[in-house]
Amino acid sequence: NAGVTQTPKFQVLKTGQSMTLQCAQDMNHEYMSWYRQDPGMGLRLIHYSVGAGITDQGEVPNGYNVSRSTTEDFPLRLLSAAPSQTSVYFCASGTSSYEQYFGPGTRLTVT
Amino acid sequence: TQLLEQSPQFLSIQEGENLTVYCNSSSVFSSLQWYRQEPGEGPVLLVTVVTGGEVKKLKRLTFQFGDARKDSSLHITAAQPGDTGLYLCAQTGTSGTYKYIFGTGTRLKVLA
């Protein structure tokens, strides 16, 4: 099993550009989520999904969109990148027993 | 707003020493998880606790969940350099939802 995979590993965007961060899992988990991690701030939940076709907002959803058309994939879209979105982004999948498994992260810089 | 505070923020100790890190919440947990994160990688789940007063052991790591389900501690016995990393606690939202809240972490460095 590959677990949770994320692409790309690194990305540099200019302000105003859009892009999609990809996340896939092969563990058949219903739960998937996106977090951002900034220095001194821990991980903050952006959006999450409890199954295909079901998404909900986390703590910091503004400027991001998600969709969940399959159990395996949960892409995160940045609509119009801003320097405040410079961060490390982690995708996770999880079980109903409150276990989460994280991907390796995407380091995003917005100039 | 739920808040999850971890202490200390930073800890630097010698190999062989014992240590305890703490996680305190402003509200009752449905469940609590502890993770370890190494530089450049995603967090790795260490343990999940759901019952007040629960104690779980993972080799030299002992996790305790407070009776009132608002606090937790992680105790490491005879720390080793391989224990170095960022230790994060996380709780589920109220009523057991999957809206996880993470603490800001304890950064541990174990010197050989």
pLDDT in tens, A23-70: 999 999 999 999 999 987 789 999 999 999 999 999 999 999 999 999
Helix, coil or strand: residue B63: strand
The alpha-carbon radius of gyration of chain B (Å, integer) is 13
3-state secondary structure of A64: strand
What is the residue whose two structure tokens read 């190494």? Answer: B38
Best interface-test mutation with B: which of A32, A35, A97, A98 has the largest number of B CBs within 10 A? A98
Beta bridge partners of B97: none
Which of A39-48, A67-76, A89-98, B28-37 has the largest mean confidence? A67-76
- Confidence (pLDDT) at B28: 85
Q: Peptide bond preceding A104: is omega within 30 degrees of 0, i.e. cis?
A: no
**E strand residue ranges, B3-92:** 4-7, 10-14, 19-25, 32-37, 44-49, 55-58, 61-65, 71-76, 85-91
pLDDT at B92: 83
- The residues on A that touch B, with CB distances below 8 Å, are 4, 31, 33, 35, 40-45, 48, 50, 56, 58-59, 90, 92, 94, 97-105
Dmax over Cα atoms in chain A, in whole Å? 40
CA-nearest residue to A42 within chain B is: B104
DSSP string spanning A30-55? SEEEEEEEETTTEEEEEEEEEETTEE
For residue A38, give every residue at least 6 positions away whose Cβ sits within 8 Å of its Cβ, in sequence order, or none.
A44, A87, A88
How far apart, in whole angstroms, are the C-alpha atoms of residue B72 and residue B64? Answer: 5
The pLDDT-based confidence of B95 (bands split at 50, 70, 90) is low
Cα torsion A96, B48, B50, A54: sign: negative
What pLDDT was estimated at residue B26?
A: 84
Give just the sign of the alpha carbon dihedral A22, A27, A32, A33: negative
